[in-house]
Amino acid sequence: MYKINENFQKLPGSYLFSTIGKKVAAYQQANPDKEIIRLGIGDVTQPLAPAIIEALHKAVDEMGNAATFRGYAPDLGYEFLRSAIANTDYKARGCDISADEIFVSDGAKSDSANIQELFAADSRIAVTDPVYPVYVDSNVMAGRTGEYDPKTEMWSNVIYMPSTAENGFVPELPKEVPDMIYLCLPNNPTGTTLTKDELQVWVDYANKNGSVIIFDAAYEAYISEADVPHSIYECEGAKTCAIELRSFSKNAGFTGVRLGFTVVPKELKCGDVSLNAMWARRHGTKFNGAPYIVQRAGEAVYSEAGKAQLKDQVAYYMNNAKVIKDGLAEAGYTVYGGVNAPYIWLKTPENMNSWEFFDFLLENANVVGTPGSGFGPSGEGYFRLTAFGNYENTVKALERIKAL
Amino acid sequence: MYKINENFQKLPGSYLFSTIGKKVAAYQQANPDKEIIRLGIGDVTQPLAPAIIEALHKAVDEMGNAATFRGYAPDLGYEFLRSAIANTDYKARGCDISADEIFVSDGAKSDSANIQELFAADSRIAVTDPVYPVYVDSNVMAGRTGEYDPKTEMWSNVIYMPSTAENGFVPELPKEVPDMIYLCLPNNPTGTTLTKDELQVWVDYANKNGSVIIFDAAYEAYISEADVPHSIYECEGAKTCAIELRSFSKNAGFTGVRLGFTVVPKELKCGDVSLNAMWARRHGTKFNGAPYIVQRAGEAVYSEAGKAQLKDQVAYYMNNAKVIKDGLAEAGYTVYGGVNAPYIWLKTPENMNSWEFFDFLLENANVVGTPGSGFGPSGEGYFRLTAFGNYENTVKALERIKAL
């Protein structure tokens, strides 16, 4: 009889956002008259910008015409998109990243889950705590994380780097050297980030100790402060120790469009082996390119019209962030984040644990957020709200919270 | 120092179609005046059908409007598409498959590469030989295939099931019992297939011996004979031993649109563990849904207008298949396939090996095909041509071949 991958059975419960979805659906079914406001999952609400819609329609028309129809895309992405990315996101910021170091994909979630395939089965990972669940869960499935302790909610073979109010959300360097270090900056879920000098410390650590950094920069478009790096390649030496993940979900509202990319510098080598070549092989074997029409939409993100429209869209969400942050502060909550990121991270009141506060908020304000503990043990006692709602609902949600 | 996944280093050469692409590009650069006709990679050439274009435009408009904008799709696919698939591809054919057994993805290549993650690391796979390279390569990357012998071009821990003219392209049941059996029917690359009775033998074998069948039905739309099954679930007992992969690439021209699905029946269990639940967890953790606009395009495939237009498109390609098959026979070649599949599999003339014939055809007829040996050792001495070119080019290619 065939055998399954037993690592799947080690995963406790279901994926965080599936659990939230089920809880909300059950509440809504029991209370059909309640108007629920969702500030939980980091899903956007604003429609795609006009420049993107225009590019999509144009590409759809091309697909309907034999002369301009496109079949299989290049595995690694169309040159027009890879060049736009290299020029705008990297060269224009002084980072020497070229088009052939950029791998276009169907989104950063896939890439952040798949990137671990490049590393040895017995690699040890380090994650900030709290953390986006995909980094740990994908390594659980690959059998790297050891055993789960339901009491501490920790894996025996994962190095946790607490990131809490106590250390100002600046995690300490790990004492035991990990093989892979996952960093998400600006951070999901805390909404906090590191300055360039603070990030340089991690790059130096990785180069000195032979670790590789998986740097998730999905929220870089929300950075408002000058000393915060938009890419890890702004730090010296990052090209020999870091892979960067990027998303179009949050800067352009592509959560339902699906587009992302990963940067694997050619200088990133393990001995003689190029990780750039490995990731190219992985793409070529296991992926068949992002849709042509979606890659054209991605290109429009870098057009002059697209850039202007998306600047407004980001500003719209960051205004929501301010509404949430100010409103919560006014209501007496202790709040973090929301300055360089679309997430507000709050301390739960009256020693409620994160899921207690989830239920409290759902039942009393009909507002959905995300329990901090769902992101890791150090998230316990915290709660995440997102700025991705629409303005009217965000204002209404805060009025309800203030009235509690 | 971190370590890489050494299994990647075991892969010989690069992905087959990347190698072909590079060879053709080099020839074209050296001979810029030559008009090359590509009947190699199985990429379609006809534009998307009008019903699909209409659905895409409509969905794009929805994405540009706040009231109809869609963010993250359900991980497993939109209900409208899963239901259309269940009803049309399964229930209408007498297969009792329901919407919650269907998992929508970005294509069958991803699914066929990822499905092995559900199984134990020491699982043994069996493949027909020749075979679509992704099945083996994805298992190489996962460390299941043992060592590669460059002389035989075989992996020590893979069970090869030759499928050649000698056995009428009906492979023998494996003597050693495999954990996973990959079957692609109608077959890529041979263009041949099995009857329902012949497939039933495999289902019975799998149920009796505790193997799981990964059944790739990407080419089912090309079936013209009545006794050939469109789905493995037409065979009795398949729901307890088989996973089915489907693609929109070939029946609807979605190679550059990216959409596919996998069927994992709820009855498919390893002991108490549901593979349906495992695949749902894998989707939820490592994938973020196919694009909304693409899923609407998929829905249009099942509309009355879509079905009629795509029937014509399939007939167009199958007419090409006839042109190739008849033309080659006329030129004295021994040919197979092309009746229930868009592939023609020919015996190379004058004892040329497959790559020699590739070069011969590229240089003398400027026609690109795929060397049979690229699909496995038993493909040596064979060559694949596809019916996915346009009619005019297909006719021209055959004239050139006949004139050799």
Q: Which tens digit of pLDDT belongs to each residue from A210-263?
A: 999 999 999 999 999 999 999 999 999 999 999 999 999 999 999 999 999 999
Burial B232-257 (b: 16+ CB within 10 A, else e): bbbbeebbebbbbbbbbbbbbbbbbb
- A390 vs B contacts (CB less than 8 Å): 66
Q: pLDDT-based confidence at A18, cuts 50/70/90? A: confident
Mean pLDDT of B81-105: 98
Same domain, A190 and A214: yes
B285–A143 CB contact, under 8 Å: no
The encoded tokens of residue B153 equal 């071009």
The answer, yes or no, to whether residue B15 has pLDDT greater than 80, is no
Q: Do A256 and B72 lie within an 8 Å CB cutoff?
A: yes
Residue B62: the pLDDT is 98
* Inter-residue contact B103 to B283 (CB < 8 Å): yes
Local confidence band at B19 (pLDDT 50, 70, 90 cut-offs) = confident
Kindly list the distances between the CA atom of residue A398 and the CA atoms of A147, A350, A351, in Å, as whole numbers in the listed order.
Answer: 40, 19, 21
**CATH code of the domain covering residue A333:** 3.90.1150.10
If you write DSSP's letter for every residue of B244-301 in order, what string do you get? EEEESTTTS--TTT--EEEE--TT-EETTEEHHHHHHHHHHHH-----HHHHHHHHHH
- Mean pLDDT value across chain B: 96
| DSSP per-residue letters across B306-373 | HHHHHHHHHHHHHHHHHHHHHHHHHTT--EEE-SSSSEEEEEPGGG--HHHHHHHHHHHH-EE-EEGG
Please name the amino acid found at residue A218. Answer: A
Kindly identify which residue of chain A lies nearest to residue B241, measuring between CA atoms: A2
pLDDT over 80 (residue B141): yes
Of A180, A258, A284, the CB nearest to B15: A284
Residues of B in contact with A284 (CB under 8 A): 14-15, 18
What are the CA-CA distances from residue A161 to residues A112, A158, A206, B33, B316 (Å)? Answer: 19, 10, 15, 61, 60
Residue B13 has pLDDT above 80, yes or no: no
Contacts of B288 in chain A (CB under 8 A): 106-107, 109-110, 255, 258
Whether B16 is in a domain gets the answer yes
Would you say residue A312 lies in a domain? yes
Residue B1 lies in a domain: no
The count of domains in chain A is 2
pLDDT in tens, A312-357: 999 999 999 999 999 999 999 999 999 999 999 999 999 999 999 9
Nearest to A52 by CA among A249, A306, A261, A257: A306
Interface test with B, best of A285, A292, A390, A393 (most B CBs within 10 A): A285
The answer on B395 and B340 residing in a single domain is: yes
Give B257→chain A minimum CA distance, Å. Answer: 5
Q: What CATH number is associated with residue B87? A: 3.40.640.10
What's the pLDDT at A41? 81
Cα angle B70-B72-B76, degrees, rounded to a multiple of 5: 115
User: Rounded to 5 degrees, what angle do the CA atoms A392, A394, A397 make?
Assistant: 110
Residues of A in contact with B143 (CB under 8 A): 121
Q: Are residues B343 and B269 in the same domain?
A: no
| Burial zone of A285 (CB within 10 Å; 0-12 exposed, 13-18 middle, 19+ buried) | buried
Q: What is the mean pLDDT of residues B106-130?
A: 98
pLDDT at A14: 67
The mean per-residue pLDDT over the stretch A14-39 comes to 91
User: Are residues A204 and A112 both part of a single domain?
Assistant: yes
Residue B12: per-residue pLDDT: 83
Residues in chain B: 404
Going by C-alpha positions, the residue among A317, A191, A314, A294 that lies closest to residue A252 is A314
Q: What is the mean pLDDT of chain A?
A: 96
**pLDDT band at residue B267 under the 50/70/90 scheme:** very high
Distance from CA of B359 to the nearest CA of A (A): 23
Domain assignment of residue A175, yes or no: yes
For residues B73 and B203, state if they share a domain.
yes
Cβ within 8 Å, pair A138-B286: yes
Strands across the sheet containing A102-105: A102-105, A260-263, A242-247, A212-216, A180-184, A125-129, A158-162
Return the H-helix or E-strand segment holding B162: strand B158-162
**Would the CB atoms of A9 and B106 count as touching at under 8 Å?**
no
Pick the closest to residue A105 from A263, A227, A231 (CA basis).
Answer: A263
N- to C-terminal Cα distance for chain B? 57
**B118 vs A180: CB contact, 8 Å cut-off?**
no
Residue A108 lies in a domain: yes
B292 CA to chain A: closest CA distance, Å? 6
d(CA B336, CA B339): 9
Measured between alpha carbons, how far apart are the two ends of chain A, in Å? 57
User: B61 contacts in A (CB within 8 Å)?
Assistant: 53
- Do residues A41 and A110 both lie within one domain? no
Q: What is the mean pLDDT of residues B145-164?
A: 96
Q: Measure CB to CB from residue A119 to each of B3, B122, B293 and give the nearest one.
A: B3
Nearest CB partner across the interface for A5, out of B6, B71, B119: B119
B326: pLDDT strictly greater than 70: yes
Facing B291 at nearest CB: one of A275, A281, A291: A291
Q: Of A240, A269, A303, which marks where a domain is finished?
A: A303
Domain boundary at A244, A271, A303, which?
A303
Spatial distance between the Cα atoms of B4 and A157, rounded to a whole number of angstroms = 18
Q: Is residue B83 part of a domain?
A: yes
Q: Which of chain A's residues have a Cβ under 8 Å away from the Cβ of B122?
A: 3
The H or E element containing residue A354 is helix A354-365
State pLDDT tens for residues B53-72.
999 999 999 999 999 999 99
3-state secondary structure of A140: helix
Q: Please give the pLDDT value at position B14.
A: 67
- Among B258, B264, B312, most A C-beta atoms within 10 A, so best to mutate, is B258
Residues B321 and B293 in one domain: no
Q: How far apart are CA B321 and CA A26, in angstroms?
A: 54
Q: Which DSSP category does A254 fall into?
A: -
User: Which one of A303, A335, A355 terminates a domain?
Assistant: A303
Nearest CA in chain B to A292: B256
Do residues B135 and B282 share a domain? Answer: yes
Strands B260-263, B102-105: pairing kind: antiparallel
Which of B244, B255, B227, B245 lies closest to B339 in space, CA to CA? B227
Residue A312: what pLDDT?
A: 98
Query: A57, B53: Cβ pair inside 8 Å?
Result: no
Over residues A88-96, the mean pLDDT reads 97
Helix B354-365 vs helix B16-30: crossing angle, to nearest 10? 30
**Of the partner residues A2, A46, A210, the one whose CB lies closest to the CB of residue B180:** A2
Q: Are residues A239 and A322 in the same domain?
A: no
Tell me whether residues A4 and B109 touch, CB distance under 8 A. Answer: no
**Residue A275 belongs to domain spanning:** 53-303
In angstroms, rounded to a whole number, what is the distance separating the alpha carbons of residues B302 and B259? Answer: 14
| In a shared domain, residues A327 and A287 | no
Q: Quick one: average pLDDT of A126-149?
A: 96
A26, exposed or middle or buried, with CB in 10 Å at 0-12, 13-18, 19+? exposed
Residues of B in contact with A287 (CB under 8 A): 109-110, 113
Percent of chain B with pLDDT over 70: 100
Burial class of residue B92 (count of CB atoms within 10 Å of its CB; 0-12, 13-18, 19+): exposed
Closest A-chain CA to B250: A71
Q: Are residues B85 and B228 in the same domain?
A: yes
* Reported ipTM: 0.96
> Which pLDDT does position A329 carry in this prediction?
97
Does the residue B2 lie in any domain? no
- Say if the Cβ atoms of B2 and A288 lie within 8 Å: no
Mean pLDDT over residues A363-382, rounded? Answer: 96
Q: CB of B384 within 8 A of CB of B372? A: yes
Residue A159, classed as helix, strand or coil, is strand
Q: Is the pLDDT of residue A201 over 70?
A: yes
With respect to residue A2, please indicate whether it lies within any of the assigned structural domains.
no
CB contact under 8 A, A53 and B61: yes
Residues of B in contact with A106 (CB under 8 A): 106, 258, 288
**DSSP sequence for B15-51:** -HHHHHHHHHHHHHHH-TT---EE-SS----SPPPHH
**Together in a domain, A100 and A173:** yes
Structural contact between residues B336 and B192, judged by C-beta atoms closer than 8 angstroms = yes
